Amino acid sequence: MQAEQRKQSKFHVDEVERNFVLLSIVLLIVFAISVAVGNLAYNIGLPEPAGRVDPTKLDEHLQFGKPVEERVRELAPGKYEAYIIASKWKFSPGSTNFGQKAITIPKGSTITFYVTSEDLQHGFKLLGTNISFMVLPGQVSKLTATFDDPGTYQFICYEYCGQLHHNMYGELIVEE
Ligand code: CUA
């Protein structure tokens, strides 16, 4: 009887297995700390959803419903906002390959991008920067950035969205 009890209460974990479990726990803690430090000390955060929209009624939206050339505006000196609609296979405004004007700001300006999709899932990645976020129908993605270096920046769609996905891009020009 005693011997049987002892056998039941003894729960054997292999040493190697135990070490892996401990290592996984340590890694989780390290990751959690690095996310917290990145967010609090370096202000690295995920782009937040900035509201919801009805993708079938974007033309009625206060900002997305404006004519494409009015969707970039200067709010204050050096402070801009851009309301961009992603669709198969362009960004409006910004897709110069579709005859639209590039989004143009002077250097040192801060611009807030509001991006939504009117059809399916797209991506928004500004090459040469760490700006990158997903664009979903029904949701507005928002991100603010300051551009000190003049040049032409391309923003591309990084989520596969069909036949001409590779041709889906727009341009941001930062002027001297
Ligand atoms: Cu839009 Cu890929």
Which ligand 1 atom lies nearest to the CA of residue 159? 2
* Digit-coded pLDDT (tens) for 154-168: 999 999 999 999 999
In the structure, what pLDDT confidence band is assigned to residue 147 with cuts at 50, 70 and 90?
very high
Q: CB of 161 closer than 6 A to ligand 1?
A: yes
Q: Is the CB of 119 under 6 A from ligand 1?
A: no
Q: Is 76 left (phi over 0), alpha (psi -120 to 50) or beta?
A: beta
**Is 143's C-beta closer than 6 angstroms to any atom of ligand 1?**
no
Percent of the chain topping pLDDT 70: 93
Parallel/antiparallel/unpaired status of strands 72-76 and 169-175:
unpaired
**Predicted TM-score (pTM) of this structure:** 0.76
pLDDT at position 76 over 70: yes
Reported as a single tens digit per residue, the pLDDT across 122-135 is 999 999 888 899 99
Rounded CA-CA distance 90/160 in Å is 13
For residue 136, give the amino acid letter: L
User: What are the strands, taking DSSP E only, across 18-121?
Assistant: 49-52, 72-76, 79-87, 90-92, 103-106, 109-117
